Every structure is written in C-alpha cells, then in structure tokens.
Amino acid sequence: MDSIADDLLEGMKSISRFTGLDERRAFYLAEKGELYGVFKQGGRWVGLKSKIREGYHKRAAGEVTA
C-alpha cells in the first residue's frame, strides 16, 4: 500500500506543477473551492494527487459541474 506521503502535495507550487496550472490560477481555484482534493492544513495548501486526479476525471465525465 502506498503511503500518504507518496500521494501528498505540499504547497501551491507543488500543486500547480502537478496540475499543470499556473500557480496564481491554482491558488484562485483553491480559494474558491473549485480545485478538487486541495485544502488548507495548518494555514498551508495541501493536495492529494489521487483526489485531484479523481476530480478531473469526474469533471471530464460530467459528474461535477462546479
């Protein structure tokens, strides 16, 4: 089983690199709650790669509209 550390992205720079989004755009989407799998923990943005992928797949399939 993979560890959470393998799935975890720490900081908006890592999140933007993983998603391919500009860092400012990723921050904007995260602030609006529109970047699935990304949340604040202890004042710092973190994300789970598996959940971010899941969010993109759901949007592509039309399951999530926001």
pTM of this prediction? Answer: 0.87
Closest CA to 26 of 42, 43, 9: 9
Q: 4-60 in CATH: which number?
A: 1.10.10
Q: Rounded to the nearest 5°, which phi and psi values hold at 53?
A: -60, -45
Domain boundaries in the chain? 4-60
66 falls in which pLDDT band (50, 70, 90)? low
* Digit-coded pLDDT (tens) for 10-41: 999 999 999 999 999 999 999 999 999 999 99
